[in-house]
Amino acid sequence: MVDILGSDGDSGSDATAPDESLAKKTVRGAGWMVTWRFATRTLGALSTFVLARLLSPMDFGLVALAGAFARAIDAMATLGIQDVMLREKNPDEAYYSTGFTLGLIRTGIAALVIVAAAYPVGRFFGDERLSVILLILGPLLVIESCENVGALDFRRHFRFDRDFLLFMVPRVAAVIATVATALVTRSYWALVIGIVVQRTARVGLSYAMHPFRPRLTLVAWRRLLGMSSWIWGTSVAGFCRERADSFIVGRLMNTSAVGLFSASLEVALLPISEFVEPVGRALYAGLSAIHHSGRGSSDTLAKAMAATLCIVLPAGVGISLVAAPLIRVTLGPAWLSGVPLVAIVGPFATFSVITNIGMLGVMAIGNPKITTFTTAAMALLRVPLLIAGVLLGGLAGLAWATGIALTLESAIYIVVLRRVTGFRVSVLIGETWRSAAATAGMALVLAHFGFAWAPAASTLSAALAQLGIAAAIGAAVYVGLLIALWTLSGGADGPEAVLLRSVSRRLSLPAVGRRAT
């Protein structure tokens, strides 16, 4: 294997390292990714605080709709090249350069389709501004695909500190550009400029951070495309599943409704976007290494889900309970009509932990065919549910339909994992019930003190105090109940023990919890 990363990286022996060493690398990588998400979300919250007061829901809706269409075409041409390359046990320079070339070809085709469709799309949705935005987003895909493919080694060698910088610096530049443009133009162009700056800055930084220089070649195309066709199918089905709401609302309602629902859904899915997705980025590398080493991953998946739910479950329910002050603080009073949407979707969003990590597990063992069919089934399930939701209940009906779809999708993946990996539901339940019970206790306490689904205070400072007090009470109750239940159950080696051992190592305290036998 050619060590493209160089002497700064690990030796490439991750796949044969002991379980505990691999787990530490994965956890450390997840920590970097979560830190990145926290840092970028803090920046994003600050920019959103400004942008929501400078721009209208229609501005957000325009860019969301144009972005959804551009990504739809991009998904149609996605080959999943990076995922295939990350799973490769012995990549070489020709392999990496072939992946780079295939990426340029497929984004070039996608860009041509987007540019050709720009004006028809604008006419279809009755807004010519969509056409102008698409004429920018199309060529931008090609620029984005020029990113240095050698940077993939940061994930392969668990160098997520470098991955952190590759994400963070462009994000800071984009926030600055977006806010500055919004202050000047007070229009949707601020959002477009931010997208352009972030993607171009990432391309430039990737070459500054990594010495690899790709060349144009297709010499290793057979090795790459053998698995890519199924990943392409998964990408297309996944886009239909994830972006259907924007097209349905845009067609059946209007762009303002798209902006309102997109912003509300983003708030409701904060635990997923800010924790589960970055954890998954590190977890996929770890699961791939476990597979290459010949060790089973079924219980690893269950434990990873349980550990993630330990954090996501109270967060998702908590966001639902304090939806009104959260919207008031983050988006402003003009967006309070989205409160019911956040309150409905928030608890259901926690089921995405099972779906997201389950998908990673199936991909890591090299079974993309199953992932494609499963994702397609979830897309076929979600689209009619969303349409029925809009027709029967408007945006609130769409929120309920989204929640039901998230629940059913997690059930589908549990069935798939049982068949493919021997996944044991009993392990997941055994390690999750304490988190669920503590979350229920937290909700009851917040309801008792009048914080559950309460209207937002009239002023920003009062809403911020309302949100802070509720969050402090909820966190204290949840952690207290969780530790009490864990202690009463004999200090089982579950997510609680993992977290406490991590804290103990940081503070040089004796280890806690009992090891599983």
- C-alpha 156/C-alpha 288 separation (Å) is 10
One-letter amino acid of 411:
A
Answer whether residue 240 is part of any domain: no
The confidence score (pLDDT) of residue 9 equals: 37
User: Is residue 242 domain-resident?
Assistant: no
Is residue 310 a part of any domain in this protein?
Answer: yes
Which of 265, 415, 418, 430 is closest to 348 using CA atoms?
265
Enter the pTM of the model. Answer: 0.66
Is 177 domain-assigned? Answer: no
Residue 313: the pLDDT is 94
Mean of the per-residue pLDDT values of the chain: 81
pLDDT on residue 200: 94
Report H helices in 269-322: 270-271, 277-292, 298-321
Does residue 59 fall inside a structural domain?
no
Any idea how long the chain is?
A: 517
Structurally, the chain folds into a number of domains equal to: 1
Residue 281 to residue 316: CA distance in whole angstroms = 20
- Are 243 and 71 a contacting pair, CB within 8 Å? yes
- Judged by DSSP in three states, 327 sits in helix
* Domain-embedded: residue 312: yes
How is 24-66 classified by DSSP, letter by letter? HHHHHHHHHHHHHHHHHHHHHHHHHHHHHHHS-HHHHHHHHHH
Q: What is the mean pLDDT of residues 454-464?
A: 90
pLDDT of residue 443: 96
Per-residue pLDDT, averaged over 158-184, amounts to: 86
Residue 245's pLDDT is what? 77
Tens digit of pLDDT for each residue in 88-135?
767 788 888 988 998 899 889 989 999 999 999 888 888 889 999 999
Check residue 394 and give its pLDDT.
Answer: 87
Highest mean pLDDT among 246-260, 283-297, 432-446, 491-505: 432-446
pLDDT digits (tens, 9 = 90+) for 229-240: 666 677 777 777
Residue type, position 36, single letter: W
Q: Confirm whether 404 is domain-assigned.
A: yes
Which amino acid is it at 408? L
C-alpha distances (whole Å) from 387 to each of 73, 94, 144, 253, 397 are 22, 47, 33, 11, 9
Residues 344/396, Cβ–Cβ less than 8 Å:
yes
Q: Which two tokens stand for residue 299?
A: 């219980």
d(C-alpha 122, C-alpha 6), whole Å: 48
Six token digits for residue 262: 């997109």
Is the model more confident about 436 or about 45? 436
d(CA 260, CA 57): 6
* pLDDT single digits (tens) 141-166: 899 989 998 888 887 777 878 888 88
- Most confident region among 304-318, 368-382, 486-500 by mean pLDDT: 304-318
pLDDT on residue 517? 37
**Kindly report the CA angle at 377 between 338 and 385, in degrees rounded to 5?**
35
478: in domain: yes
Per-residue confidence (pLDDT) for residue 451, from 0 to 100:
93
> Tens digit of pLDDT for each residue in 31-41?
676 676 677 66
Report whether 218 contacts 101 (CB < 8 A).
Answer: yes
Q: What's the confidence (pLDDT) of residue 52?
A: 76
Higher pLDDT, 199 or 106: 199
Taking CA atoms, 193 is separated from 73, 129, 181, in Å, by 21, 15, 8
Q: Which residues contact 379 (CB under 8 A, 6 or more apart)?
A: 237, 238, 240, 241, 244
Confidence tier at 5 by pLDDT (50, 70, 90) = very low
Residue among 401, 288, 391, 277 at smallest CA distance from 348? 401
Give counts: helices (H), strands (E), the chain. 20, 0
* Calpha distance 409→386 (Å, rounded): 14
pLDDT band of residue 514 (cuts 50, 70, 90) is very low
Range of the domain at 476: 253-509
| DSSP letter (8 states) at residue 252 | H
The whole-number pLDDT of residue 21 equals: 58
pLDDT at 515: 42
